[in-house]
Structure 1
Amino acid sequence: MRTTHWRPLLAAAWLWPAALPAAPLTLAQAQAQAAQHHPALAATAREVDASQGALRQAAARPNPAFTAQVEDWRADQRTTTATLDIPLELGGKRAARIAEAESARDVALAELAARRAELAARVTADFHAVQSAQQQVALTRDAAELTRRMLDATARRVAAGRLSPVDEARARVELAQAELQAGEAQAELDTARLSLAALLGDTVPRFDSVDAGDSDAHGGADSPARPAPADLTAALDASPALAPARREAQRRRAAVDVERSKATPDLTLSVGARRANDLGRTQAVIGFSVPLPLLDRNQGSLQQALARAAQADDQLQATRLALAAELQQAQARLGRSLQSLRSLRDTVLPAAALALDAARQGFEAGKTGLLDVLDAQRALIQARQHQRQQLAAAHQAAAVIDRILPTTP
């Protein structure tokens, strides 16, 4: 019997603590909690239990039958025959049936592994979505704080008669927009937290924040890197996302053997005794019966099984092609995001920060206007938001790669 690792899911499926620690939730904690408490994974594990029962039933041999027959109701003339009819399966039916049940169990195990990998990828994606939303909240709050400082500085200059009241009004509008964006960012964060909590088996979040351990408040991070597999075909063949389709194709071929074995009729052996009261003796009775495969040789069921086996092979090829395309697209998106992140980190962000410092200094010296400072501030904020978006896109692409190739380091 194959050892499986899903039984702890059933034993502790809903033993959830009342509250999580106050410390930020890490990705490792989120993965472990989802694996233990997500009901869809436990439901898939139930199918493995069902397949084990089907395998046990497939190995069972047919029951014998007891037959009794009485001739003539008169006691002195009565003849009583009792036989035990023992079915004997021929044509390898039991072995074929067991092989199909084992293949069905392998399908269930492969489906469980695929669902586990898929859940891990979804948790990773939602975890980094929460992280990205946290960064957006920090960015919008920083932007609001910067705008508030500019408003204070502008108000002082207006009071001193060095700027027009129009500039103060413009700064107030800018602050109102920044505060509105901060509120929208908080709403997006709440939505992202709810989505992650659902994967952890909760209806409400039991964590305050997440910590990937590799990012700062503005979205700077050690971005995820995934090496492209040198042999894509070999990598896909080992993918748990492809395993259910491959196992299903094997099960369909085993079903063909089952239907082919049914073309051989079974033999029923009868062993018993006949008691003739008029003769006063008991005789042994031995016989057999076998169906004559003249009208039904199971041709239709065999044809159906062959067609479905070919269909499963086609579906396997279609799944392989779809996964290959999805993997290549994810690798391309990851590559583009990493390239953008390098450009933002090395060129765009430093230049935007320098431009804002220069605009502020010029504003303090009376050499530049408020609009120049606001434009420079928007450029820096937009660059930081772009960095956050590219980092989130990189993590999403990496999650797709990990779902298809979870052994990727």
Structure 2
Amino acid sequence: MFKGIYVQRTPHGVHGHRKASFVAASVVIMLLGASSVAFSQVTAQPQIGGGQETLQGTSSAPTAVLSLARAIELAMEGNPEVAAATRQVESTEGQVLQGRARPNPEIAYSLEDTRSKTRTQSIQLNLPIELGGKRAARTKAAEKAREQAQAQLIELKATVRADVAAAYFDVLTAQERLALARDSASLAKSSTDTVAKRVAAGKVSPVEETKARVAEAGIRVELAQAASEERNAMSRLSALLGRTTTMFAVLEGRADDLPAAPKLAELQTMILSSPSVVRARLEVDRRQALTAVEQSKRVPNVTVSVGMQRANEMQRNVLLFGVSVPIPVFDRNQGNLLEALKLEDKARDELQAVTVRMYSDVAQAQERLVTIGAEIQALQQDVLPGAKSAYDAATIGFENGKFNFLEVLDAQRTYFTAKSQYLKALGEAHRAAADVDRLLGAPSNPGPIATQN
């Protein structure tokens, strides 16, 4: 890691080595007034890192340190979408219970003639008997629905886990960017004071002081934007944890703790067991079970009856026995069976589509991760050291009167742009790794990026 861009984070704040970057401003003097207002808003916001400070209007002190593992655990416990999906899984137990239920018996009563002497009364018990394996087919369909709901919950948890990992590192990256902007603003103020002294001594033109103040105003605007991005990243992470306020102050880890980029062949072997493919395969199984339910309905049920009849005129009781069977002449459930068969074919087509899309999405995410890893290596090894060296040389030369302020400003702008590109690449790398985790349902695996194909 290049020493010039190393950032150390402690529970008491975010500190960095001396960094500086000025943004060359072609803005007019209006920027001075706007930037001063924005800077006053930034200084009014609570800062990250103070264990006794509150964030986003939180009434109680935030917790000291939040690790990625703890953040994922909190999301699984408090995320409302995970809670809703869990309730959905629990509700499918009712479907299984109902599928196992047998049809209820019936009691029938009839009365012939209202005159007491000639009255005939009958009472009988009707017991439906399901044939064709209806109960077993219905139970299997309910069990497949339960398995599918469980697969949906697993898929949602993988998505939430990946989103939390991406948001977690977004906060770390935003904190790095905010620390850079703060150091840049501090150095911009120092440079402006230096130029003002040299102008007062008659060594440089007053135009140099104007340029320095405009550049300082531009960096104050960048500081306000960095602070806003950091607060937004905190808010997104808190929402994923199921909280409306930020209850943490310091995140454990570093933005440059990059995940490994495994080989594409290794990822492709995991596709068939990924949550999306498993859920699509279970949908095929469920549709097959529903087709079996519709096929079982083609076999009519039998109703067995037993009862007693009493005729008052004859003063005797008569036992009754009966069997009723529907005759499937007109309705053989052919329409419902055809629909079930077509939906089963549709589920197979969707499984094929999901599998193909997964291969494409995983390949793209892995390629993006490898490409960003190569970009980060180039920035670490070549771009950032060169930009830092040029900036240091320009600063020393300016202090010794060998360079004008415009050259220093250009060197600062180059270094600031390179460092911003580096931080952006870090965020993209973590999002690409989160996409791979979301697609495959695997947890994040921190480690150095390796550019493998």
- For residue 265 of structure 2, what is the aligned residue in structure 1? 230
Measure, in 1, the Cα distance between the counterparts of 2:102 and 2:244.
48
Q: Counterpart of 2:353?
A: 318
Report the AA paired with residue 407 of structure 2: D
CA displacement 1:325-362 (0-9 Å, x = unmatched) = 22211111111111011111111111111111211222
Alignment of 1:280-359 (within 5 A): 280-359=315-394
Distance 1:255 1:22 in 2: 51
Distance 1:91 1:18, change over 3 A: farther
Check the 8 A contact 2:141/2:290 in 1, yes or no: yes
The 3-state SS of whatever aligns with 1:175 is helix
Q: Which residue of 2 aligns with 1:8?
A: none
- Asked if 1:402 is matched to 2:402, the reply is no
**Which secondary structure does the structure 2 equivalent of 1:90 belong to?**
coil
Measured in 2, the distance between the counterparts of 1:257 and 1:390 equals: 53
Deviation at 1:122, TM superposition (A): 1.1
CA distance in 2 between counterparts of 1:151 and 1:371 reads: 13
Is residue 2:120 matched to residue 1:79? Answer: yes
Superposed displacement of residue 273, structure 1: 2.1
1:230-249, aligned counterparts within 5 Å?
230=265, 232-249=267-284
Query: In the TM superposition, what are the counterparts of 1:22-37 in structure 2 within 5 Å?
Result: 22-37=63-78
Confirm or deny: 8 A CA contact 1:241 1:403 kept in the other structure: no
Would the aligned equivalents of 1:249 and 1:312 in 2 still touch at CA under 8 Å? yes
Task: Say if 1:114 and 1:243, in contact at 8 Å, map to a contact too.
Answer: no
The one-letter amino acid of 1:356's match is Y
**Partner SS, residue 284 of structure 1:** strand
Question: What corresponds to 1:214 in structure 2?
Answer: 254
**Aligned equivalents of 1:84 and 1:55: distance in 2?**
28
Structure-1 separation of matches of 2:267 and 2:376? 26
Asked if 1 retains the 8 angstrom alpha-carbon contact of 2:63 and 2:247, the reply is no
1:273 alignment partner in structure 2: 308
Q: CA deviation at 1:317?
A: 1.7
Is 1:67 the counterpart of 2:105? The answer is no
Q: CA deviation at 1:401?
A: 0.7
Native 8 Å contact 2:159 2:441 kept in 1: no
Quick one: distance in 2 between partners of 1:396 and 1:120?
12
Instruction: Tell me whether 1:91 sits opposite 2:132 in the alignment.
Output: yes
Contact 2:62–2:249 (Cα < 8 Å) also in 1 = no
CA distance in 1, matches of 2:308, 2:342: 48
Q: What amino acid is the match of 2:400? A: A
Counterpart residue number, 2:15: none
Shift, 1:129, TM fit: 1.5
Q: Corresponding residue for 2:427?
A: 392
1 CA distance for matches of 2:292 and 2:267? 33
Check whether the contact 2:134–2:297 (CA below 8 A) recurs between aligned residues: yes
Letter of the 1:202 counterpart: R
Q: Name the CA shift for 1:233/1:373 in 2 (closer, same or farther; >3 Å).
A: closer
Q: Distance in 1 between matches of 2:351 and 2:424?
A: 35
Q: Runs in 1 of length 4+ with deviation above 6 angstroms?
A: none
**One-letter amino acid of the counterpart of residue 141, structure 2:** E
Q: d(CA) in 1 for partners of 2:357 and 2:61?
A: 39
Output the amino acid matched with 1:225: A
After superposition, the C-alpha distances for 1:296-342 in whole angstroms (9 at most, x for unaligned) are 00000000111111111112222222222222111111111110111
**2:95 maps to what in 1?**
54
For 2:390 and 2:95, the matched residues in 1 are separated by 71
**Local SS of the residue matching 1:349:** helix
Runs of at least 5 residues in structure 1 that lack an aligned partner in the other structure: 1-16, 216-220
Letter aligned with residue 43 of structure 1: A
Q: Corresponding residue for 1:199?
A: 240
Residue number in structure 2 paired with 1:182: 223
Shift of 1:149: 2.3
Distance 1:19 1:30, change over 3 A: farther
Structure showing greater relative contact order (alpha-carbon pairs closer than 8 Å, 6 or more residues apart) = 2
**Counterparts of 1:253 and 1:232 in 2: how far apart (Å)?**
30
After the TM superposition, which of the residue ranges 314-323 and 270-279 deviates more from structure 2?
Answer: 270-279
2:213 to 151, 154, 172: 172
1:149 maps to 2:184: no
- Which letter does structure 2 place at the counterpart of 1:204? T
Mapped to 2, the partners of 1:159 and 1:253 lie a distance apart of 87
TM-score scaled by length of structure 2: 0.81
Q: TM-score, normalised by structure 1?
A: 0.90
Return the offset for 1:20.
Answer: 6.5
Name the residue aligned to 1:7.
none
Alpha-carbon offset, residue 232 of structure 1 = 4.9
Does the Cα contact within 8 Å between 2:264 and 2:363 map onto a contact in 1?
A: no
Q: How many residues align structurally?
A: 387
